[in-house]
Amino acid sequence: MKKCTERPRNLCSLNGAISVAANIYKCIPILHASPGCSNQASQGTHMYYLGGYHGLVSTNAYEREVVFGGSKRLQETIQGSLEVMKGELFTVITGCSMGINGDDIDSVIREFEDSPYPIIGIDTAGFKGDTYFGYQATLLAIVKTLARKTKTDPRRVNVYGQVPHTDETLRGDIEELDRIFARIGVKLNTFFIKTDGIEQLKNSGNAALNINLSPWMNRNLDSYYEHQFGIPTLHYPGLPIGPTAVEDLLRQVAEALDLDRDLVESVIQDEKQYVYHYFDSMMGTFERLRYILVGESNTVLGYARYLTNDAGHIPLAVIITDSVSDKFKPDIEAEIHKLECDRKADVYYEDDVYLIEQIVGKYKDRATALIGGSYDKVIAKHLNLFFVLATYPCFEKQTLNRSHIGIRGCLTLTEDLYNHY
């Protein structure tokens, strides 16, 4: 083995595929994979409709199916799922073992052409790519199957760019985005969690604009919406966290959709005043942090903008854990270096916990806080740094509708920065 990664956050494509399918309400993922892959890949993907990995459908393919083919087993599993599972969309997702043996998934699915609900086959064998490959391939396949255009809605927008299970505050984040955009008269298709997610996907071809929050993912989906439905994409790299980011994003959307500028400016000022009212109440206890951030690119971009541009904390280093293509790295680094701080943060790309600890150790005598996921907690303890649990993965706490996005979410994030025991 050339390299072994210690506690990787970035897993195989099956993880990303499950994350998409299982977080669309009443979409039933059917895994055509071994029981080991099915169990391990599904445990951390926050399947909101199915209630966790206990409800996952799988062919549980063993040696017999690997050697002799698993088409019959898959046919039986799809039939049973249609009879038992209360779904409105079914996605057949392949794992490594069944991807190797070459089962003709599409021919099995064609046997169910009379099904009242769509059934989609998606080849996401783990060896084809990582979590982010699986996420992008699955979301694109579902959009291609469901999205239709009847008439453009000038006030409807598609929002995507975050792998669902890596957003620890997904439910609250979606609610906060809905709340803010509703104030300026814009309806969002967020696809995930909401009970009308399948209808949103069907209606996504009628949107007037896409907002892609990832600095590098979903470019294939951007192109599909553009070529198939004529929908342009606004690239906003990083989650919109805090008054400065929300103001910037709302103004860009207002320009793209030709919204009422007076209304948008009124909403911006009202939202900013809401935040600053709370900021005023904590000024006497405010402590400036010299921080290191560890997490996915769109998460750390959003956090860094808020922590530095709004809250005045000092960035020392940003460690990016997702598999960013080399061609997008200069753009990400440019965003980080635009932070309103004379001290420009160093940027690293690393997923290995051991190597991340070596990087963080370089700043031991200067850093006061490490902001990251559960894997990074031990690093902070070893180096005697103040630790904030804010990025993926998160094992220590359950999150229902708390948010870190937008206006209300940035206040929650600020509480998380200081309220540790």
**239-281 pLDDT, tens per residue?**
999 999 999 999 999 999 999 999 999 999 999 999 999 988 8
Cα 264 from Cα 180, distance rounded (Å): 10
Please state which CATH class domain 156-278 belongs to: alpha beta
Checking if the pLDDT of 383 tops 70, the result is: yes
The average confidence (pLDDT) of the chain is: 90
Query: CA 28, CA 85: separation in Å to the nearest integer?
Result: 8
Give the three-class secondary structure for 92.
strand
Confidence (pLDDT) at 268: 98
CA dihedral 33, 34, 39, 40 (to 10 degrees): -90
Q: Where are the beta strands (DSSP E) in 334-398?
A: 346-349, 369-372, 386-389
**Whole-angstrom Cα distance, residue 239 to residue 64?**
46
The pLDDT value given to residue 73: 85
Element (H, E) at 158: strand 156-160
Res 421 pLDDT > 50 = no
pLDDT of residue 292: 97
Mean pLDDT, to the nearest integer, of 288-299?
95
What is the per-residue pLDDT across 308-345, written as a single tens digit (0 to 9) for each?
Answer: 999 999 999 999 999 999 999 999 999 999 999 998 99
Tell me the pLDDT tens digit for each residue of 14-42. Answer: 889 999 998 999 999 998 877 667 666 77
Q: Choose the CATH number for 284-418 among 1.10.8.60, 3.90.198.10, 3.40.50.1980, 3.30.379.10.
A: 3.40.50.1980
Helix residue spans in 23-168 (DSSP H):
35-42, 63-68, 71-84, 96-101, 105-110, 131-146
CATH topology match: 156-278 vs 284-418: yes
CATH C-level class of 13-146: alpha beta
Q: Minimum mean pLDDT among 65-79, 101-115, 171-185, 334-348: which range?
A: 65-79
Comparing 145-149, 186-190, 286-290, which segment has the lowest mean pLDDT?
286-290
Judge whether residue 3 has pLDDT over 80.
no
- The domain limits of the chain are 13-146, 156-278, 284-418
What pLDDT band is residue 302 in, cutting at 50, 70 and 90? very high
**4-13, 117-126, 152-161, 370-379, range with greatest mean pLDDT:** 152-161
pLDDT of residue 212: 98
* Arithmetic mean of pLDDT, 224-228: 98
